[in-house]
């Protein structure tokens, strides 16, 4: 963990996981420009160190780096302790890996790691952050999901081969929306950010190991610039939008999902639906 003691924060501290590249690094740059102190978390120490130097040099904010593998229980403990700190007013739960591959052929240990990083670590860090934020009467949590949380099972290419990844992002959406509902009226905001294809290093590795080298690289398949994704997220934090989908032109599409969900909930009547009545085939 390294700090730049000469730096000075004008706003509270933001913890950003997965800050060594892509959306997390873009978030770190925007928050530093806005005067936040930062805690940057990822595995690649050199990347974090270079980013910390850039941000303290340019904006004069304090930047700590925490080199940690969020799939490792002891590292996660360490990050959770820092995330529970009194100075933390924003948690960006951004670190994520894809583990893409046909379900039956993908290494089971890799799939467990996808769950550990995308689900367990994200939940643990939110749990570390929220109680203190509530007690201090101020704070926000941004959890990064994906449009694949909604559309992961839909054709055509390049889907499927990402059942576990889609499942973890579905968890992030449901967890975040339900927590936001639980905290409605409380002084802590919860947002779930659902990017579509974004121009980052994400598709250069399954995530078990980092992309090699110190210099960030971007995949060739196009996608939204990471900075635009962050712009949408910061707007949504201002407006209080819970489900933020940066590329979605028709914002009411989210409301239509809610309407469909209400329809589903009306099934909780205690009465078996007619189509299931009669003799079963098995």
What are the catalytic residues?
Answer: 165
Among 7, 91, 111, 117, binds ligand NAP (CB under 6 A): 117
The burial class, CB within 10 Å (0-12 / 13-18 / 19+), for 254 is: middle
What minimum distance in Å lies between the beta carbon of 227 and ligand NAP? 11
Residue environment code for 199-208, b if the CB has 16+ CB neighbours within 10 A, otherwise e? bbbbbeebbe
What minimum distance in Å lies between the beta carbon of 20 and ligand NAP? 4
Among 56, 106, 146, 233, binds ligand NAP (CB under 6 A): 146
Among 12, 18, 166, 246, binds ligand NAP (CB under 6 A): 18
Residue listed under structure tokens 């100075």: 87
Name beta bridge partners: 39.
Answer: 15, 64
140/218 with CB nearer ligand NAP = 218
23/173 with CB nearer ligand NAP = 23
Residue listed under structure tokens 């739960």: 93
Query: Within a 10 A sphere around the Cβ of 8, how many other Cβ atoms?
Result: 13
Among 43, 82, 162, 189, binds ligand NAP (CB under 6 A): 43
Q: Does 122 bind ligand NAP (CB under 6 A)?
A: no
Chain centroid offset of residue 64 CA: 20
From CA 66, how far away is CA 91, in angstroms rounded?
14
Return the range that interacts with ligand NAP (CB under 6 A); candidates 1-9, 17-25, 127-135, 266-274: 17-25
What minimum distance in Å lies between the beta carbon of 258 and ligand NAP? 21
From CA 266, how far away is CA 244, in angstroms rounded?
26
Q: What does the DSSP 8-state code read for residue 183?
A: T
Stretch 199-218 residues interacting with ligand NAP (CB under 6 A): 200-202, 207, 210
Q: Does 164 bind ligand NAP (CB under 6 A)?
A: no
Beta strands in the chain (DSSP E): 11-17, 36-42, 63-67, 88-93, 139-144, 188-193, 198-199, 224-225, 243-244
Q: Does 176 bind ligand NAP (CB under 6 A)?
A: no
Binding site for ligand NAP (CB under 6 A): 18-24, 42-44, 47, 68-71, 94-97, 117, 144, 146, 195, 197-198, 200-202, 207, 210, 223
């Amino acid at each position: 963990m390294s700090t730049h003691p000469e730096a000075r924060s004008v706003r509270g501290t933001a913890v950003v996981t997965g800050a060594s590249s892509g959306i997390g690094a873009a978030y770190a740059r925007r928050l530093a420009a806005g005067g936040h102190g930062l805690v940057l978390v990822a595995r690649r120490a050199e990347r974090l160190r270079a980013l910390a130097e850039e941000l303290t040099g340019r904006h004069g904010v304090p930047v700590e780096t925490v080199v940690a593998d969020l799939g490792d229980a002891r590292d996660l403990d360490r990050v959770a302790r820092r995330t529970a700190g009194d100075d933390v007013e924003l948690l960006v739960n951004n670190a994520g890996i894809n583990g893409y591959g046909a379900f039956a052929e993908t290494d089971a240990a890799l799939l467990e790691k996808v769950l550990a990083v995308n689900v367990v670590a994200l939940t643990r860090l939110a749990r570390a952050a929220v109680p203190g934020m509530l007690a201090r009467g101020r704070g926000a949590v941004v959890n990064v999901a994906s449009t694949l949380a909604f559309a992961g099972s839909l054709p055509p290419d390049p889907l499927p081969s990402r059942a576990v990844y889609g499942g973890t992002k579905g968890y992030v959406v449901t967890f975040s929306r339900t927590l936001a509902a639980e905290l409605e009226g409380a002084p802590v905001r919860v947002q779930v950010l659902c990017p579509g294809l974004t121009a980052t290093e994400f598709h250069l590795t399954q995530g078990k190991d980092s992309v090699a080298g110190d210099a960030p690289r971007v995949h060739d398949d196009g996608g939204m610039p990471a900075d635009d994704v962050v712009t949408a997220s910061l707007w949504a934090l201002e407006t209080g939008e819970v489900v933020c989908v940066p590329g979605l032109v028709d914002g009411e599409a989210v409301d239509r999902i809610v309407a469909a969900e209400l329809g589903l909930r009306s099934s909780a009547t205690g009465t078996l639906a007619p189509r299931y009545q009669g003799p079963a085939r098995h």
